Amino acid sequence: MSTIKTVGVAGAGTMGAGIAIVAARAGFRTILYDTRQDTLDRARRQTEGFFAKSVQRGKLTAEAVETIMGNLIGTTDIAAMAECDVVIEAIFEDLKVKHGLFSDLNAVCPPHTIFASNTSTLSITEIAGGSGRPERVVGMHFCLPAQLMKLIEMSPGLTTSPEVFDAAWKFAEAMGQRPVKTKDNPGFILNYFLVPFNNDAIRMVEAGVAEPADIDRAIKAGLGYPMGPLELLDLIGLDTQLLLCEALHGVTNDPRAACPPLVKRMIAANHLGRKTGRGFYTYEKDAMFGG
């Protein structure tokens, strides 16, 4: 049984908002923290839309959603994280920025609070090194879209205490998720495979092998994948793909992990994907995936 009652999520972007849904839906009191009110407002609007669809599809009752939404609080005040038993960080993939956040949280949160990082490419041991409590930091990598995907890749760093890892594992199960243990290796399992795979798809567009829609159609109809690589990249965001490439290529030197030039051109044109309304495709709405 998990002893965790209150969950903090730091960062209200696509991943953070999805993780907050997972925690709140499982009955945890959930505090979503972001420095920007407009980001919190968007997360709230998307979350309400997501749960409305859950009700429509008969997955949740309107009463259950009311309770969940009552347990889900947004805040721009980091002091509100003082009541959290665990804080899951889902902010920018930058070691210094994550160190800064965890240092601030370390000053606010009680000593028992576990710090989890949703990093997809950075080393848990390196993140733990700048957290002020290296033995209480654990990797919890959720999958996109977090509100629908069950898997969490869980990695202990070199300094993580086995008790903390065990408590975080039980917490993941209590959220109804399926944890898988991985080593603190670059990209863990998923991104080690996915980032170069997506780069290969981008290089196929660059080389003129086929149009994005033809590539996506081939992969979905030929292999039964739920999404094509280019629509998935639009969901991930091209700016995030650049960071993933830089993090993974910086450590592995794998040529397939190197960022294709087209990504930088698309970022320069603000074609970041769904969030800017245009990536490999154009979009009219920013509604959340699924329900």
Partner 1 sequence: MSYQLIDTGNSRSFPAAHALLDGASASGEVVVLIGADAGSALNDVTARAERAAILVELGTESLGTHTGESRGTEGSNVLGFARFRLGDGNPSDLVELVRQPATPDSAIAAARAVLEGAGLKVAVCGDFAGRIIDRLIRPYYNASLRRLDEQLATADDLDLTLRLGLGYPEGPISLLERTGLAHHYDVTSALFETLGTPDYAPARRAVVAKRRAGKGFK
Question: Rule CB under 8 A: which residues touch partner 1?
Answer: 143, 149-151, 153, 178, 180, 182-183, 185, 189-190, 192-194, 196-197, 200-201, 204, 207-211, 214-215, 217-219, 221-227, 229, 255-256
Identify whether 153 is a catalytic site residue: yes
Instruction: Give the shortest CB-74-to-partner 1 separation in angstroms.
Output: 28
Single out the residue of 64, 4, 3 nearest to residue 30, CA to CA: 4
* Active-site pick, 54, 117, 118, 120: 120
- What is the distance between the alpha carbons of residues 163 and 159, in angstroms, rounded to a whole number? 12
Given the residues 191, 198, 231, 249, select the one marked as catalytic: 191
Can 271 be counted among the known catalytic residues?
no
Give the Cα separation of 230 and 249 in Å (integer).
20
Contact 177, 163 (CB under 8 A): no
The distance of closest approach from Cβ of residue 209 to partner 1 in the complex, given in angstroms and rounded to an integer, is 5
Minimum distance, C-beta of residue 200 to partner 1, in the bound complex (Å): 6
Tell me whether residue 73 or residue 281 sits nearer to partner 1 (CB atom): 281
Closest CB to partner 1 among residues 11, 229? 229
Q: Is 112 a catalytic residue?
A: no
Residue 141 is a catalytic residue: yes
Supply the minimum distance, in Å, between the C-beta of residue 105 and partner 1.
Answer: 27
Question: Which residue out of 117, 141, 199, 249 is catalytically annotated?
Answer: 141
- Residues known to be catalytic: 120, 141, 153, 191
